[in-house]
Amino acid sequence: MRRKLGGTDINLFPVGLGAMPLGIRGSIPLQDAIRVIHAAIDAGMEFIDTANVYCTDNQDLGLNERTIASALKSIDSSRIVVATKGGLVRPQGRWERRGSPQELRIACEQSVRDLKVDVIQLYQLHAPDPMIPFSDSVGELARLQHEGKIQHIGLSNVGESLVREAMEIAVIATVQNRCNVYYQNDVRNGFVDFCAKHSITYIAYSPVGGGSRHELLRYEPILEELAAKHEATVYQIVLAWLLQKGDNVLPIPGASKISSAVSSAHAVNVNLSAEDVSRVDSLGGAWRPPFNSAPKTAPVLNATGGIVNFEVAHFLI
């Protein structure tokens, strides 16, 4: 049941925790966030995903990382893998790409301090920067790895062509992309299988829809039927569906409540039949081209945190 992290000797529980909801808008008290993290770990989760920009704006970069560090300092965290990301910034709450070698180095070194570690176990490029050659960004991650600041390298919001380019520079352990029943791009175009072939763990973010789209799951008759059949929730059904898309798939559902974290962990106990999986497949929307290059504009959020440029921003977080 356990899943290897890329080509490493690290084996993990099949579902990880997406920590973004625990700090992106600063609305969850620290102690409540710590309780959610502890509950996720107690339920079996061993992988926690974060980023330096999971915060309100540039004034509190690293907030989410510091929250995780606070949660782990009081427990035995030797089996826990914490992954973080660099390559974005949050001026006035916007999401902007910053993938230059200099900025990635500064971000990585600050993440080391915020996570209170000697080396970051998995450091991921958050998104390609259209203003910077991709090879320059990946090359800096390789240098940081050589210097012992990061252990393994991952990429986020990329497609096959960019991964192939990166593989010429460094060993890529993970790819983190958006993937769920409503956005099945990487399943349908063979990218998940490509990652498996090259011993790359495919980390599925927004695995239950992302944002408010998770609420739509409760109104899908197919999911309601399968939830009743398996005595599970609709969220557990879609996570179980993802787990059956490849042994290299690691979904990272977010959680801001203890009950959500525990429920997500229990998705590993749901065994869908081939027919069940096929029925969930049918929920996928229109197929979109692979995300192989960086959009030319940065996403913009309004003053209340609403995404103005959704088609760009939904790839980033």
106 in any annotated domain: yes
What is the tally of structural domains in the chain?
1
40 in any annotated domain: yes
pLDDT digits 0-9 by tens, 7-66: 999 999 999 999 999 987 667 899 999 999 999 999 999 999 999 999 999 999 999 999
192 in any annotated domain: yes
302 in any annotated domain: no
pTM: 0.91
266 in any annotated domain: no
Summarize the confidence of residues 214-231 as an average pLDDT.
Answer: 93
16 in any annotated domain: yes
186: domain CATH number?
Answer: 3.20.20.100
Of the candidates 235, 205, 207, 184, the one whose C-alpha atom is nearest the C-alpha of residue 85 is 205
88 in any annotated domain: yes
In the predicted structure, residue 186 carries a pLDDT above the cut 90: yes
Report d(CA 124, CA 126) in Å as an integer.
Answer: 6
- Residue 110 sits in which domain range? 11-215+246-260+308-313
